[in-house]
Structure 1
């Protein structure tokens, strides 16, 4: 079946989506496989990323684009709502945990970044009740990983509207994922020994601002200055 699908797509080279993507790949080839660009010569021998980034699979929030990184700079895990489930060595299929283990144990990254963002569909599903029960099989159970973040929000903001609850839950979810990272024994030991640092980031789609969680102040503050945005920290106290 897949063979016929591939042939059908090749038979329509002017398909607008494929044309856009293949044109982009040509630009990629020109930029990174240029005779004067040696980057992929070294990457053929293996990867040595600067950091692990756990981000949402939202198409508007690409960590590589947001940080203007080169190929090989970031080891990226993307899932609905940038969640890190707690440590659960139960023999199940744990994609996020497997990527985390590979990054920490084998690639020996020195930084792990949780990158949340505004207008997150996964968090909206959690706030609104876990997705459409008539159609969705996996979204509700997955975003329920962040249930504790929503409970913190509802405890701190009783009676708030869904939009305010969702925004606060997006911020709390970054904190929850940082806490869940520390339930992995090899993450915890690496942090305590100073070999690994954990960071919580939040990209505000509406303002174009990148915030960082300040554990001492229990608030998010601008990580990078923005010429059109104030610098008041965004509290996530619960």
Structure 2
């Protein structure tokens, strides 16, 4: 049985089954990327609910695994070098899990490169820009009277959606087959509804994205993974 005692996080969130991947997460767009990937890949894992409250993500226990105090994070008791591996950053985790299993990165080296390209597109563009859009429309930033910050992120969200709409022309999945790139991006498209900005960004004017979203959430593994760990 793997010894996870070197990871202080396991004192606060104990592993009932230390033989399987330990997932520390919450069902946000970034969080569900990993639970969906684990479900799609058929990997055994144990989820631990880490809320976004400071007492969780800024606790010494969580910071010991992710010094950047953001979910998700994992411990793989069967790391690539024969020892447990702790890992944070959702995009890095997706790539790690795909490489570990040899799945969800396409069939060729070119497929893999394009998969990582679109994962990085989400990490560097869709996630940060949509997150700021949410802040300035739904959360504290909505109280700011100056319209320029809000307009900036509305316009940037529209631009990114246009990039994706064009890319998805004639495709079911963004690299041509289902991959971690779809898992990275589509939960953030789903977040537009949570932020209440579907009409603001003209979501209905993107038929390729509407169809992609519907196709993605029709997958059984996605249906399961989108609620892990449960909010309450």
TM-score (ref. length: structure 1): 0.28
Larger Rg: 1
User: Comparing both structures, which one devotes a greater share of its residues to strand?
Assistant: 1
Where relative contact order (Cα < 8 A, 6+ residues apart) is larger, the structure is: 2
